[in-house]
Amino acid sequence: MLCEPDVRTTQISQLLRGHLAEIITRQGMWLRVKSGDAYQGWIHQGYVASVADSGEAVMTGWDDPRALSLGCTVRDATGSTRKLPLGALITEGEARTAGLAMTLEERRRTFPNNGDAITASGQTYFEGTSYEWGGVTPWGADCSGFVQASFALHGVHLPRDAWMQAQAGEPLPNDLSKFESGDLLFFSDDPDSRISHVAMSLGGSRVVHQALGRGGHAVDDLESEEEYSTVLRGRLRCARRVLS
């Protein structure tokens, strides 16, 4: 999903394979779409296929009953194979040949919506992931894409961008000792304090995040005197608890 109808512009998010979106407007071969999380962006029509309009609101692909990739390979009816990232859906006529995939029913049994489980998934599936602006998968993700996908796997849906996520849940005092696993911490390097980064608490002062300053996936201790942690601690603006 791009910010403008031009391949040379910035990626702002990704619509994963099999996920639905509503077409808002067209401009030549470009479509402005709204995904299941209500996020809007431009996609070239060559990347999408039309489906019948059900007349209902577009459901996020994370709630689709079909098998969802946890990192798998599929083969279609022609014998062609394709690797799918976490979050992509296996479509009709495809068979999984390697890796893992689970239906919605299986995911609800396997991935409980508590902080320890969500942060464990974030570390397991995104370990080694490079930072990619607009990315939402272990093939490349930004900070809010990492948070959104980690929670969505466990059935907890958050908005797409960090500043949007900073409005979810309940506010917490900026007391590092009080943070629980799964709490969200928000940071800013903007003079106007606009939120520009989000991390998931591992409890206390430790966080896991997709950090540009680390090149991607990282676990940091905000009480550390290491230079990066000191800078990050000074940029902490607020925290939210999104799990009840």
When computed from its CA atoms, the radius of gyration of the chain, rounded to whole angstroms, is: 18
Average pLDDT over residues 77-94: 96
pLDDT at position 221 is 98
3-state secondary structure the chain: CECCCCCCCCECCCCCCCCCEEEEEEECCEEEEEECCCCEEEEEHHHCCCCCCCCCCCCCHHHCCCCEEEEEEEECCCCCEEEECCCCECCCCCEEEEEEEECHHHHHHHCCCCHHHHHHHHHHHHCCCEECCCCEECCEECHHHHHHHHHHCCCCCCCCCHHHHCCCCEEECCCHHHCCCCCEEEECCCCCCCCCEEEEECCCCEEEEEEHHHCEEEEEECCCCCHHHHHHHHCEEEEEECCC
**Predicted confidence (pLDDT) at residue 54 exceeds the cutoff of 90:** no
pLDDT at position 52 is 83
Domains defined along the chain, listed by start = 1-61 (2.30.30), 64-103 (no CATH), 111-241 (3.90.1720.10)
**CA terminus-to-terminus distance, the chain:** 32
Average pLDDT over residues 187-210: 96
| HSE value, Cβ hemisphere, 13 Å, CA-based, for 1 | 24
pLDDT at position 85 is 98
Q: What token pair was written down for 109?
A: 């049994």
**Predicted confidence (pLDDT) at residue 244 exceeds the cutoff of 90:** no
**Predicted confidence (pLDDT) at residue 131 exceeds the cutoff of 90:** yes
pLDDT in tens, 163-197: 999 999 999 999 999 999 999 999 999 999 999 99
pLDDT in tens, 8-43: 999 999 999 999 999 999 999 999 999 999 999 999
Provide the whole-model pTM.
0.96
Average pLDDT over residues 80-98: 97
pLDDT at position 32 is 98
Average pLDDT over residues 128-135: 98
**Predicted confidence (pLDDT) at residue 139 exceeds the cutoff of 90:** yes
